[in-house]
Structure 1
Amino acid sequence: MSTTIIAIRDAALTAGGEYSPAKQKAANKGIYNGRSPLLHRRIKQLLGGLKFKLLFCLSLICLVFWFSSKIGPFMGWNLDLPSSVSNPSRGGYTVLINTWKRNSLLKQPVAHYASCGGTDAIHVVWSESEPPSDQFKAYLNNIVSEKSQAAHKPNIRFDLNEEDNLNNRFKPIADLRTDAIFSVDGDVIVPCHTLDFAFTVWRSAPLTMVGFVPRMHWLDEEKNGMARYKYGGWWSVWLMGTYSMVLSKAAFFHKNYIELYTNKMPSSIRDYVTRERNCEDMAMSLLVANATGTPPIWVKGKIYEIGSSGIRSLNGHSDEQNKCLNDFVALYGTMPLVSANVKAVEARNEWFW
């Protein structure tokens, strides 16, 4: 280093005062060579913050993968199933509409579900002594043809039953082309995009029920080895953050369950539904839970009741449900329902994810 450069450095260090070892050290680090001490500290803080955020994000991703691996089997999400079950997408789904003496109201759900791209067929469970007129059937067929957006037009069929019996909605259906059944009351409308999302969820867990109307149960009391349970409606689900049933009022399930319901489930349960004219939806929930040992899956989504009054209110809860629940548990000899506290949500529709 030349004598001239040394002299210039010494002059800068002693300007405005005596020589300072601290200034000499700072000069060697370059702080006094055009860079602000505050800026230097801010840069170090920023880099430290980025490292922390990166580490946090990586930890969060690992946690999500671990949680998914744990909750998957619990929810019945099993992709290692036989091909006939794990690929239940052939032909989309069959819409099974339960109605009774509401012909004018039936036109709206038929038209709506015909417009959904996943609908392969529409079956109307008809439980009246008089069959639908040819004129009415022709009218509904025209609606289906007009409303369908798919190249394959869904067909509509009436499943006729002379007896008015709630068990009729779960009778086996011949020549079904789909594994998936969407069971819905004749006064309930589920938007097509919401229905398609629920179908996607069901395809990931085809052995369980996937639906929009959650209900729950809890232990009320236990005396002398006998347990009594309470049935909880929507507000109970909302307050307690758990559920153990989704009602067949608006739910997907595998076609095999209507065969089990009619031919394998204890006849005493079907007799109970016939006698009480109630609780067939609860009976189906218990049947699926007993067969799988897993909870259902609740899909978050808007659904709408139409008409002046529903077949059964979305918020319905009464002593009748408590009685049904405990009577069914007594007939099973055990409580088959399994509780869950997660729900399927379409992330595209959520502002916070």
Structure 2
Amino acid sequence: MGTKKKTQRAPFFFFIVAIYLLQTTVASRPVLLSHQEDPCRPIDHKSLRSDQLTVLINGFSESRLMLLQEIATVYSSSPAVHSVYVLWGNPSTASQTLRNISFQSLGAPIFLFRDASPSLNNRFLPRRFIRTRAVAVCDDDVRIDSDSLRFAFRVWQNHPERIVGFFARSHEFDLSRRSWMYTVSSTRLSIILTKFMVVSIDYLFEYTCRIPASVREIVDKRRNCEDIAMNFAVAARVAAGPILVEGKARDYGDSRNWGKKQKGGGNGGGGDTDKAEGGLSWRGNHRRDRGDCITEFHKAWGRMPLRYSYGRVVDGIEEQGLCKKGKKLVPCDEQE
């Protein structure tokens, strides 16, 4: 009798397990309407969570849809993430194409939001569906692993007034041209890129509702430089530079590092040739255009608010003893 009961219950038990796994690991999310309430309505801070962040992925290229789905899944698996929103900014994409997208969530829910325009300023709208104080603004061709994401969020929690991120740039003044340059420096930084940046929702409000309107117009005109404008906005408020953190990152859009794994906190990228596709940074005059943006933003603000930071924050330093192996010194755990 006992054996018979087990045989009868087993199919039902596995059916329940299968349904549970299906519900917790696979979720096909509907396309949300491109409706946005007044973005400059005051933020209700009491309703916002401080223990998690919201991930906003900027989506535009249909050829990167599979990569975007993969990245969204990775972010959804992090305990630090409350929700993931893909902000689709390509108006020429057919609605059916977006309806056919299926996201696989490993924890946090994933949503698709179609914006009414392709403006890069939309990346920083203080959207009403954001339920956290911290927001991670990122590209659809950059993947940060779960531990690194959680570390960046932890650093931000200790410095919520600053921008925290993995990809840094800097600015310098060109005396011969009497204009600002957009640079890469190994010793200092003043700009964190929207490849992946963690920022307070208050700065989304600042960017959308308080910075000079001419700055957002420049971003729309150039289809570039929204990240530089955000760094201007934050530095103007706190008179401090951004914070660069070390972490494991993959930048599928940087051709200089195709086939290489990148360690974040540097100034390069890494990716796979079969997934990468050129973006704004592929333009031959990209760096010059970015320098022109800095010069124009300087004029709009009437001063230069950008501030330099030095070094990077790492998640602990491992101490490793060295042992003699033959004529060489090697980590002790490798001597056998």
Q: TM-score, normalised by structure 1?
A: 0.65
In the aligned structure 2, how far is the partner of 1:174 from the partner of 1:157?
Answer: 14
1:263-302 CA-to-partner distances (Å, cap 9, x unmatched) read 1111101111111111111111111111111111010223
Which residue of 2 is the match for residue 311 of structure 1? 279
1:232-263 CA-to-partner distances (Å, cap 9, x unmatched) read 12xxx21xx11111112211000111111111
Shift of 1:222: 7.8
Which residue of 2 is the match for residue 94 of structure 1? 54
The 1:347–1:287 alpha-carbon spacing in structure 2 relative to 1, beyond 3 Å, is: same
Q: Does 1:272 align with 2:215?
A: no
Q: Does 1:330 align with 2:299?
A: yes
8 Å contact kept, 1:123–1:158: yes
Gaps of 5+ in 1: 1-83, 149-153
Q: Does 1:229 align with 2:180?
A: yes
8 Å contact kept, 1:128–1:164: yes
For these two proteins, the number of residue pairs brought into alignment is: 249
1:171-207 CA-to-partner distances (Å, cap 9, x unmatched) read 1210322101011100000111111111111000001
Shift of 1:310: 4.8
In the aligned structure 1, how far is the partner of 2:283 from the partner of 2:156?
Answer: 24
Which residue of 2 is the match for residue 347 of structure 1? 316
Q: Which residue, 277, 296, 300 being the options, matches 2:242?
A: 296
- 1:290 is aligned with what amino acid? A
Q: Does 1:209 align with 2:159?
A: no
Which residue of 2 is the match for residue 16 of structure 1? none
In the aligned structure 1, how far is the partner of 2:233 from the partner of 2:152?
Answer: 21
- Percent identity of paired positions between Structure 1 and Structure 2: 30
1:18-50 CA-to-partner distances (Å, cap 9, x unmatched) read xxxxxxxxxxxxxxxxxxxxxxxxxxxxxxxxx
Shift of 1:155: 2.0
Which residue of 2 is the match for residue 73 of structure 1? none
In the aligned structure 1, how far is the partner of 2:251 from the partner of 2:126?
Answer: 27
1:65-122 CA-to-partner distances (Å, cap 9, x unmatched) read xxxxxxxxxxxxxxxxxxx69xx86341101101103322211111111111111000
In the aligned structure 1, how far is the partner of 2:289 from the partner of 2:210?
Answer: 25
Runs (4 or more) in structure 1 with deviation over 6 Å come to: none
Q: Does 1:123 align with 2:81?
A: no
Gaps of 5+ in 2: 1-44, 253-274, 322-336
Shift of 1:136: 2.9
Which residue of 2 is the match for residue 285 of structure 1? 231
Q: TM-score, normalised by structure 2?
A: 0.68
Higher relative helix content: 1
8 Å contact kept, 2:167–2:195: yes
- 2:123 is aligned with what amino acid? R
In the aligned structure 2, how far is the partner of 1:349 from the partner of 1:266?
Answer: 46
In the aligned structure 1, how far is the partner of 2:233 from the partner of 2:146?
Answer: 28
Shift of 1:216: 0.8
8 Å contact kept, 1:208–1:253: yes
- 1:285 is aligned with what amino acid? N
Shift of 1:311: 3.1
Shift of 1:314: 10
In the aligned structure 2, how far is the partner of 1:132 from the partner of 1:266?
Answer: 38
SS at match of 1:179: strand
| Bigger radius of gyration | 1
Q: Which residue, 128, 138, 149 being the options, matches 1:174?
A: 128
- 1:293 is aligned with what amino acid? A
